[in-house]
Structure 1
Amino acid sequence: MVATQRTSSSVVEEAQTDMTHTDSAQFIVPNFTDVVLLSIIVYAATYIPSVVEAAFLLSFALWNTYWFWSGLVGTGLWTINNAVGWVIHSALGVPYHSWRISHGRHHAATGHIARDEVFVPRSRDQLKYPKFDENKEDIEGLNVAKERQLELAEAIGDAPLFVLVNLLSQQLLGYPMYLIRNASGQKTYPKFTNHFNPDSVIFDKRHRNQIIASDVGIALLFAALGTWTHYRSFAEVATYYLVPYLWVNHWLVSITFLQHTDPFLPHYSNSLWTFPRGALATIDRNCLGFIGPVLLHGICETHVSHHISSKIPHYNAWKATDALKEFLGPHYQKRDDNFIAALYRTYRDCRFVDEGLEVVFFKNASGVAQMKGKFEGGSVSDSGVDMSADGKAKTN
């Protein structure tokens, strides 16, 4: 069976039958394995101070090894859990139901410029960048005078060190700031929108008790950390918990950012957005070799299928992804470049969008975009490859 012989309805039907069936044993075992693995890593780390007291460099290397791997395992635990979500997410500093609800809203509006929940592109005006100059640049960002590119790059900042410092800020503080003050979230929301206020615009009245329960979970975490600090020391808390916590945040922000941000990914206006278009405005990526498929349970490699049907459990997402690759052909987005290099490059090349277009693509600091929306027969194709009514791909 080839892509041109399959219909969209067959993909949907397949996604909603055997692949959405949850096998409790397959679902819980990775959860349990992650807990055991993380416990072993933490237990092993307790021997670092006594084993290498006199060897600073060895101690430094071992602590960094502990922080790196505990952060990865903690991220894997974060991404697949649901059955005991409140307990584990609270332990990882995440208000579970608050996140679950906003994540559901994100799935319902992925790629919508005015309704998506996270990593929503900022416009030139929102960022207070230099105003659009129709005499030196086109609105799509494909024809920008060299003089104008230099002007924009100087005003916005594209020096490697500047980009790196801002990227590190996103990686260290991005997720807590998203929860606390809606950083990188939907800018149409009121000021002070956050994930802890039951009256936040993100939630409705039926969610109130769930948000309060999530806040209680975070309060219990702070109480536990305070007790730990009182009876032991803040240094111990920082060493065993806070640094791995920052690593977990780093991986979560990296993964989410790269799943939804790329110069070739479109974002749609209200008049053109549809659920299928939004779901396909995501990217699968190869995450650090075996780490993505094993420790992170394929969250990077199977994200497109997750947006097509979020009910597909992680162990069936590989099958769903293979089906999508076959059906979508050139519309399927996948990147195999180095994950860390992609993080820097994407942050550098995706700086802002311009308003006034039905389909927008990111521009870099010089105001240059790598893609444009293409209108054919009164409809828009974001990829330059249109799809006929019978689901067969046709090229221009």
Structure 2
Amino acid sequence: MATKRNTSNESANKLNIDEAIARNWELPEFTIKEIRDAIPAHCFRRDTFRSFTYVIHDFAFIAALAYAASYIDQVQSAALRMILWPLYWIAQGIVGTGVWVIGHECGHQAFSPSKTINNSVGYVLHTLLLVPYHSWRFSHSRHHKATGHMTKDQVFLPKTRTKVGLPPRDKDPHPDGPHDALDEAPIVVFYRMFVMFVFGWPAYLFINATGQNYPGWASHFNPSCAIFDENQYWDVVSSNIGVLSMVGFLGYCGQIFGSLNVIKYYVIPYLFVNFWLVLITYLQHTDPRLPHYRENVWNFQRGAALTVDRSFGTIIDYFHHHIADTH
């Protein structure tokens, strides 16, 4: 059995290499030192004061947008109100994504030289967006340690032909698809996009959707699951407490200001933030030009290079703090 399995693996690897050669792919041979030496030294300096100015900037815009939105229902024209509310939701979602990005930088310890400041600010910012800060920080660290690895990366793992029931590429008359009448049907594509953009981020947090197939309940809210190490248990618990506290606060706001107002001012912009998170990360790590490496080929620097930077335009890039075009 071992001989057959090894022969099968060698055959699969040969097919992968043959395909790479046919597509003119070349394995990068640069080192981490070469990458770091090419980056100006000032890019590695962390300025706490400057970082806080970005936080103030974002919350000033959030407050200004919410204040402006408070006048929308006073507009006499129903048609105009139907235009203004979506404009508010879109704008607030864009700015809110910037807040999430700052929390992301805190998780990378890039906000400040102080670990305490990084984790305190990140915890608050991500909790406001119902993100379990430490839990996601831990899984995200694993992602960066294995980006582009077929069996160790944490998110947006490509499905192999075997998993979707397709024959080997050299035996498939239509190797690049489609393989089903519904594969590229517009209504099916729209449905998949809707599900991914609306439920993708919560599903990833709750059930590790698109992530590694861990045993048991793999969730960012389960401190005992395989995503986390034992010494991370209480940090995950504290993140859960933060998210539950935020949910409770939103419930309190619903009692004071009305559930409809909570939905209009917070929930719908929150869904737009989720949309941007999924869109940005999916497009960064998914492209026909991007390979995913198996164990015998992958190394850290090759994996780290497997990111496609994409600009969403000057305004969106600005409010997203250039997470998409300079990642």
TM-score of the alignment, normalized to the shorter chain, above 0.5: yes
Residue from 246, 253, 256 that aligns with 1:221: 246
Q: Tell me which residue corresponds to 2:123.
A: 86
State the secondary structure of the residue aligned to 2:306: coil
Distance 1:235 1:27 in 2: 34
Summarize deviations over 1:318-338 as a string: whole Å, max 9, x none: xxxxxxxxxxxxxxxxxxxxx
Q: Displacement of 1:18 after TM fit?
A: 3.2
Structure having the larger proportion of residues in strand? 1
Residue from 255, 260, 263 that aligns with 2:285: 260
Instruction: Tell me whether 1:72 sits opposite 2:84 in the alignment.
Output: no
Distance 1:259 1:7 in 2: 22
Distance 2:173 2:297 in 1: 25
Structure having the larger proportion of residues in helix? 2
1:291-310 map, 5 Å: 291-292=316-317, 294-303=318-327
Q: Displacement of 1:7 after TM fit?
A: 8.2
Give the 4+ runs in structure 1 shifted more than 6 A: none
Instruction: Tell me whether 1:176 sits opposite 2:191 in the alignment.
Output: no
Residue from 145, 150, 153 that aligns with 2:180: 153
Distance 1:218 1:9, change over 3 A: closer
Summarize deviations over 1:40-88 as a string: whole Å, max 9, x none: 11111111112x1x41210011100100000000001110232311111
Distance 1:101 1:177 in 2: 17
1:283-362 map, 5 Å: 283-292=308-317, 294-303=318-327
Q: Displacement of 1:9 after TM fit?
A: 3.2
Contiguous gaps of at least 5 residues in structure 2: 1-29, 107-117
Summarize deviations over 1:118-154 as a string: whole Å, max 9, x none: 111122343x44444754438xx4xx6xxxx46x132
Residue from 47, 66, 84 that aligns with 1:42: 66
Summarize deviations over 1:237-265 as a string: whole Å, max 9, x none: 11111100000000010000000000110
Distance 1:8 1:278, change over 3 A: closer
Q: Tell me which residue corresponds to 1:137.
A: 173
Which protein has greater RCO, CA pairs closer than 8 Å, 6+ apart? Answer: 1
Q: CA RMSD in A?
A: 2.0
Distance 2:211 2:198 in 1: 17
Distance 1:24 1:162, change over 3 A: same
Distance 1:96 1:7 in 2: 31
Distance 1:195 1:160 in 2: 33
Answer whether contact 2:207 2:218 (CA < 8 A) is retained.
Answer: yes
Summarize deviations over 1:209-251 as a string: whole Å, max 9, x none: 1101100001101111111222332211111111000000000
1:268-287 map, 5 Å: 268-287=293-312
Q: Displacement of 1:90 after TM fit?
A: 0.6
Distance 1:8 1:103 in 2: 20
Summarize deviations over 1:314-366 as a string: whole Å, max 9, x none: xxxxxxxxxxxxxxxxxxxxxxxxxxxxxxxxxxxxxxxxxxxxxxxxxxxxx
Q: Tell me which residue corresponds to 2:3.
A: none
Q: Tell me which residue corresponds to 1:357.
A: none
Q: Tell me which residue corresponds to 1:197.
A: 222
Q: Displacement of 1:12 after TM fit?
A: 1.9
User: Could you tell me the TM-score, scaled by structure 2's length?
Assistant: 0.81
Distance 1:133 1:204, change over 3 A: closer
Instruction: Tell me whether 1:23 sits opposite 2:59 in the alignment.
Output: no
Distance 1:221 1:75 in 2: 17
Residue from 231, 242, 262 that aligns with 2:267: 242
Distance 2:45 2:250 in 1: 38
Q: Percent identity?
A: 38
Contiguous gaps of at least 5 residues in structure 1: 1-5, 304-396
